[in-house]
Chain A
Amino acid sequence: MTQQQSHPQTANGDDIIIMENVKKRFGDFWALKGITTRVKRQEVVVIIGPSGSGKSTLIRCINHLEKHDEGRIIVDGIELSHDVRNIEAIRREVGMVFQQFNLFPHMTVLDNITLAPRIVRKWPREKAEKLAMELLDRVGIADQAHKYPGQLSGGQQQRVAIARALAMQPKIMLFDEPTSALDPEMIKEVLDVMRELARSGMTMVVVTHEMGFAREVADRIIFMDAGQIVEEGTPEHFFTNPRHERTKLFLSQILHH
């Protein structure tokens, strides 16, 4: 049945991610209790919410690091099924940046970035390295190309991780709390890179606690709690006039601590 649905829904506009009633459970615990939302091309969506609300699980479902139990997820016209080819096809188009960077410690920065283009996209080394150097220049650490991740600061490592994801020339970038593991003085350098990326027109889904970033960069904010989307809207709506009590409580806690 998945064959005929392999390219559904592309007709209705420019939604690049479509989620319909997505549910996910860990044992008896429902981490996602029916999520329905869409992300447009070039849209920047920021997901916020208290810890344990399911926001990380949600974006990890988009590239199938977590397997959703019910509902449908369609990314760039390809439905995420259990077909490995579909999963790998989607992962080639979706870049991800993790809270803990997850750089490959046994490779230089340059090798970290060129690895996937070379072995997944089968690019020749010269082409991959040329792009890698451009990306390192873009994130501001071209001079660190031949170092190992362990020799870099946290902020530099996270910028390498962003460059590594961009090297696959993805259509979508997922950010899973990219600044949560960073020392405060390094948060800005990572957010600057993300800001620049958003301005360049990249489709981004960002889980973060950085409200300043959300307010400034997001096209839309999704507030999640207990595995559900409580409220979504533009930053102005969200920060000035939230409707739900739960949202107001969360914002008051996070903004006035």
Chain B
Amino acid sequence: MTTTTQTHTTPSLITSIWHWLRDNLLTPWYNALITIIVTPIVAFVLYRILAWIFFAAEWDVVKQNLRLFMVGPYPQEELWRSWVTLGIVVLLSGLSWGAWRGREWTAPISVVVLGILGALFLPITAASKINLLIMAAIFVGGQFLGAWKGEHLRKYVVWLWVLSFFIVLIILWDVRPSSTPPFFEANIPSGQVGGLTLTILLAVIGIVASFPIGVLLALGRRSSLPVVKTFSILYIEIIRGVPLVTVLWTASLLLPLFLPSDIRVDKFIRAVTGITLFSAAYLAENVRGGLQAIPKGQYEAAQALGLNYRQMMQYIILPQALRIVIPALVGQFIALFKDTTLVLIVGLLELLAIARSVISQPEFIGLQREVFVFIALIYWVFSYSMSYTSRRIEERLNVSRR
């Protein structure tokens, strides 16, 4: 805010570029040397990559299989159900953005621009293009509604998110107690939801469900009750001692053996349970690190004021401890997001499994590079968004503190 009041002459663009080059790349002499050596190498590599992307690569394989990458073997005639779920998520995102950030305009503008670009350039059917534009419109509408009602809406939005979780499962899979009649005519087994949709579902449910379990385990490990403490330590150490693949195998193959034969747990539920239980153990250790960083005086001050254990943890200790471990937690969530690729071994077709099945088709042989670069880009976009969001959250929390 002070820079506008300073009256120094703005240098021309060329001189400022020259100053930047001189300060960052050319002084002292050995930096100049390194610049001279490295520049052609970088230029050559970049040239080859760009040349490949724009001229050599055959992106047809991605175009033709886009639907597979997004939803897996979900039946075409039921595809509207996945659009409806996406619509619900977009609406809630818009509502949340409006309720918390008000009429902030960068998000809706980027959504609309992305929607229009997608409708113009994505190799999808005309109906899907219209759907994409409708999604952008839903977001903007949701934000408008959220900003209009503002703070009053926040509590309801949180509950709507919880509710939406079940609605999404019902719409996608018709998940319901077996006694009730089906909501939809077509029955879709969980193996038929795949691709990016499955990856996101696994990751989101895994993160949301493992968080409370992990926090409870972390508290349990520091508990003074011997039974609770022993159970927590055993659980954490056993789970951390085995690979995720083992946990998934156990959940998918051994569990049905132990359960009575008339109870059949869905494949997706088994996989997501395995991921959740696995992630919870690591999360517990991260949270424990945060708990240990809280000075003893904070506990004593809370106790001296008459707070009981739950109140002390809820209002004093956990808010501070979790704030400290945000970077570690987000790192773990990113790892979990990528670990979802392992559900391949229990027969679920998430994004990577779809990619493998695509490149094994005879007409796409030799196009592994295109497919893997494409899904790597998808993973990167999601992982980087998480990382970026966590940095923004940290900044905001720090601003409020200082």
Seen from chain A, the residues whose Cβ lies within 8 Å of a Cβ on chain B are 63, 65, 84, 88, 91-92, 94-96, 98, 100, 102-106, 115-116, 119-120, 148, 150-151, 164-165, 168
Contact = CB atoms under 8 A, between A and B. Distances in A.
B222 interface: no
Contacts of B319: 106
B301 A103 contact: yes
Contact of B300 (A88, A98, A106, A116): A98
Given A168-B305, A168-B306, A120 B311 contact: yes
Interface string B370-402: 000000000000000000000000000000111
Contacts of A165: 304-305
Given A102-B300, A105-B320, A116 B305 contact: yes
Contact of A91 (B297, B305, B315): B305
Contacts of B297: 98, 100, 102
A84 B402 CA distance: 37
A103 B295 CA distance: 11
A98 B305 CA distance: 12
A119 B307 contact: yes
A91 B306 CA distance: 5
Given A65-B300, A106-B320, A120 B305 contact: yes
B311 to A, nearest CB: 5
Interface in B292-336: 295, 297-298, 300-308, 311, 315-316, 319-320, 323
A86 B400 CA distance: 37
Interface string B337-348: 000000000000
The contact size tier of chain B is 20 to 34
A63 B304 contact: yes
Interface of B: 295, 297-298, 300-308, 311, 315-316, 319-320, 323, 400-402
A148 B305 contact: no
B315 A115 contact: yes
Given A100-B297, A106-B323, A116 B401 contact: no
Contacts of A119: 307, 311, 315
17 contacts: A63-B303, A84-B308, A98-B300, A102-B295, A102-B297, A102-B301, A103-B301, A104-B298, A106-B319, A116-B305, A116-B307, A120-B307, A148-B401, A150-B401, A151-B402, A164-B305, A165-B305
Contacts of A164: 305
Contacts of B320: 104-106
- Among B300, B302, B316, B400: residue with most chain A CB under 10 A: B300
A94 B303 CA distance: 11
A116 B316 CA distance: 11
A153 B45 CA distance: 56
Given A91-B306, A102-B295, A168-B306, 13 more contacts: A63-B304, A92-B306, A95-B305, A98-B300, A100-B297, A102-B297, A102-B298, A104-B298, A116-B306, A148-B401, A148-B402, A151-B402, A168-B305
A104 B304 contact: no
A139 B366 CA distance: 77
A216 to B, nearest CB: 26
Given A65-B300, A98-B297, A105 B307 contact: no
6 smallest CB-CB distances across A and B, nearest first, come from: A102-B301, A102-B297, A116-B305, A96-B304, A92-B306, A91-B306
A98 B302 CA distance: 12
A116 B295 CA distance: 19
Nearest to B401: A148
A104 B302 CA distance: 9
Contacts of A104: 298, 301-302, 316, 320
A150 B402 contact: yes
A100 B299 CA distance: 13
Contacts of A98: 297, 300-301, 304
B290 to A, nearest CB: 12
A37 to B, nearest CB: 21
B301, B302, B305, B400: which has the most chain A beta carbons within 10 Å? B305
A65 B301 CA distance: 10
Contacts of A94: 304
Contacts of A95: 304-305
Contacts of B402: 148, 150-151
Contacts of B303: 63, 65, 91
Contacts of A151: 402
A94 B300 CA distance: 13
A178 to B, nearest CB: 13
A63 B306 CA distance: 10
Contact of B306 (A88, A103, A106, A150): A88
B293 to A, nearest CB: 12
B364 to A, nearest CB: 54
Nearest to A84: B308
B109 to A, nearest CB: 34
Contacts of B315: 115, 119
